[in-house]
Amino acid sequence: MIKTILVPATGSDTDAGVFASALTVARPFGAHLAFLHISIDAATFAATIMPEVSSGQVFTDVINRMGEEAQQHEQKAKQLFESFCRREGLVVAGTSSMQSEGLTRWLREDGSESYWLVEHSRTADLLVIGRSDDDQRVPSDMLEAALINSGRPLLIPPSAPMSALPDTVVIAWKSTPEAARAVTAAMPFLPFAK
Task: Domain of residue 193: give its range.
Answer: 164-194
Nearest-angstrom CA–CA distance, 181 and 178: 5
Query: How many C-beta atoms surround the C-beta of residue 178 within 10 A?
Result: 8
Pairing of strands 91-92, 103-110: parallel
Structural contact between residues 118 and 147, judged by C-beta atoms closer than 8 angstroms: no
Of 76, 75, 49, 77, whose CA–CA distance to 62 is shortest?
A: 49
Same domain as 94, residue 142? yes
Nearest-angstrom CA–CA distance, 169 and 78: 34
Same domain as 92, residue 59? yes
Same domain as 147, residue 52? yes
Same domain as 87, residue 9? yes
Same domain as 88, residue 120? yes
**What does the pLDDT look like over 15-46, one tens digit per residue?**
999 999 999 999 999 999 999 999 887 666 65
**What does the pLDDT look like over 45-74, one tens digit per residue?**
656 655 565 566 766 777 778 778 888 989
**Number of domain units in the chain:** 2
